[in-house]
Amino acid sequence: MEATSPYGAAIGRLERFVAHPRWIARSVALLVLTALALGTPFWEETRFLKSPGWAAFLAKRDALLTPPQASLESHEGKVVFRFTVAVVARVLRLDPVGVLILQAVLGLAFLALALRLAERDGGDRVTAFLLTAAMAFTYVGAAAFVDLYAWFDAWAFFLLLATMWLRQPLLVFASRAWRPGPTNGRCLHSCWSRRTA
C-alpha cells in the first residue's frame, strides 16, 4: 500500500468535494462561513447605521444630483460620484438594511461567479475552488459580508467580475460610476480582456 502525502490527501478530498453536482452551492456556503469566521463584523453593534457614511448615502439616494454638504476630501463628500448603489436603492426603495441584504446576495453571487469563471478559464474545479478561496479569505471576497459602513466595495467587485464573465466592458462603467480613481478595475479588466480576446 502506497503512503500518500498530506498534500495528496488534501487534494484528493478537495477533488471529491468539487465532484459533487452541487459543488458551486457547497463551495459558496463553505467559503462564506469560513470568511465570516475569520472576519466577522460586530453585527450586534447597530450604531453603524448612524455613521456619517450612511447619512451621506441616504442623502444621495434621496437627491441624486445634489452636491454633498461634506468636504470632497472625506468619504462622505466622495459619495457625490457614486451613483450605482444610490440609484438601485432609490428604484427598489431600499433602506440601509435592505442595501446590506442586497449586498450580501451580491457577495454570494460574486463567489459563485468567481468559481464559474475560474472553472471556465482554467478548466479545473480544484483550481477554481482554491482561487476563489484565496479571494474569499481577503477583503475582495469578504467585503459583501463585513462592510457595514456604506463603502460598497462589494458592488464594484461583483460588477468587475460580471464584466469578466460576460466580456462586456459596459459594466465597468457602472462600477466606475460609483468608484472613480486609480483603484477602479480598468487595469484588471484591460488585462483580462486582452487575455481572453
Q: Average per-residue pLDDT in the chain? A: 80
Mean pLDDT within 116-138? 92
pTM greater than 0.85 (yes/no): no
Q: What is the DSSP string of 67-125?
A: PPSS-TTSHHHHGGG--HHHHHHHHHT--HHHHHHHHHHHHHHHHHHHHHHHHHHH--H
pLDDT for 1? 42
Confidence check: pLDDT of 79 > 70: no
Is residue 1 assigned to a domain? no
Residue 192, pLDDT score: 47
Q: Is residue 111 part of a domain?
A: yes
Whether residue 167 lies inside any domain: the answer is yes
pLDDT tens per residue across span 140-171:
888 898 888 888 889 989 988 988 888 766 65
List the grid coordinates of 162.
460580471
Phi, psi of 151 (to 5 degrees): -85, -35
Is residue 170 included in any domain, yes or no? yes
pLDDT at 187: 45
Domain span at residue 28 reads: 6-196
Give residue 45's pLDDT band: very low, low, confident or very high (50, 70, 90).
low
pLDDT score of 41 more than 80: no
What H or E segment, with its residue span, contains residue 139?
Answer: helix 139-146
Does the pLDDT at position 62 exceed 80? yes
Taking residues 59-72, report their average pLDDT: 79
Residue 141 domain flag: yes
- Cα separation, 39 vs 142, whole angstroms: 8
Q: Answer whether residue 168 is part of any domain.
A: yes
What's the domain count of the chain? 1
In this predicted model, what pLDDT tens digit does every residue of 163-188 receive, in sequence order? 888 876 665 655 554 444 444 444 44
